[in-house]
């Protein structure tokens, strides 16, 4: 079961990495970071209306959402296995922080059990993040190899097309037109 979840998580990451394969500019990164901070400030202001533990839980949720958003932004800016691990750890730590705040109003043994449960969930999530880091690193490496091979094959095909087109240019009249049409058809450039 754990491996099946890990496989689905890796597949989801690949979709995310594939979608964010275009690198983000440093200016876009800074703009997104400023947007995240602005949203954090606004959300933190909404928590001030609450009282007691509800306010603490709200603030912890907002802080966790900001940390997750910043980790995801770093992943979009520079997709690496380390940044993927940081996203996973940020999610786990956000859930842990909220869980601890929800444990605060409990008394005695219930509070201890609640804290231990939260801590064990955090430890499991961090261990899973380390395992997924290796999977993601291998997948990113193989994606890079495939991308390099595809680019190389495209360059070779373009060079072959250019060479064939040049040979056709040497022919006179109708022969040239027929040759060029044949070359375009052969290389899918109609």
pTM above 0.95, yes or no: no
pLDDT > 90 in the chain, percent = 48
Residues 55 and 103 in one domain: yes
- Distance (Å, rounded) from C-alpha 93 to C-alpha 72? 14
Q: What would the mean pLDDT of 74-96 be, rounded to a whole number? A: 92
Task: Give the number of domains in the chain.
Answer: 2
In terms of residue numbers, what domain contains 105?
A: 2-147
Residues 143 and 157 in one domain: no
Residues 28 and 114 in one domain: yes
- Distance (Å, rounded) from C-alpha 190 to C-alpha 180? 10
Q: Tell me, what's the pLDDT at 89?
A: 94
Residues 130 and 174 in one domain: no
Q: Is residue 89 within 8 Å of 122, Cβ to Cβ?
A: no
Q: Is residue 58 within 8 Å of 50, Cβ to Cβ?
A: yes
Residues 80 and 18 in one domain: yes
Tokens 């770093």 belong to 74
- Distance (Å, rounded) from C-alpha 104 to C-alpha 47? 17
Q: Tell me, what's the pLDDT at 21?
A: 47
Q: Tell me, what's the pLDDT at 173?
A: 82
Tokens 């933190």 belong to 44
Is the confidence at residue 189, as pLDDT, over 60? Answer: yes
pLDDT tens for 3-43 read 444 444 444 444 444 444 457 889 999 999 999 999 999 99
């Amino acid at each position: 079961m754990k491996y099946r979840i890990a496989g689905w998580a890796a597949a989801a990451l690949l979709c995310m990495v594939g979608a964010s394969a275009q690198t983000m500019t440093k200016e876009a990164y800074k703009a997104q970071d400023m947007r995240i901070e602005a949203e954090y400030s606004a959300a933190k202001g909404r928590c001030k209306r609450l009282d007691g533990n509800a306010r603490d839980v709200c603030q912890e949720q907002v802080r966790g959402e900001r940390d997750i958003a910043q980790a995801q932004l770093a992943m979009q800016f520079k997709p690496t296995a380390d940044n993927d691990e940081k996203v996973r750890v940020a999610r786990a730590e956000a859930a842990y922080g909220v869980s601890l705040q929800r444990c605060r109003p409990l008394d005695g043994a219930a509070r201890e059990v609640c804290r231990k449960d939260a801590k064990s969930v955090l430890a499991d999530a961090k261990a899973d993040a380390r395992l997924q880091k290796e999977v993601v690193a291998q997948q990113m490496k193989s994606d890079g190899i495939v991308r390099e091979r595809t680019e190389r094959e495209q360059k070779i095909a373009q060079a072959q097309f250019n060479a064939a087109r040049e040979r056709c240019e040497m022919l006179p009249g109708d022969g040239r037109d027929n040759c060029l049409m044949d070359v375009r058809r052969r290389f899918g450039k109609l």
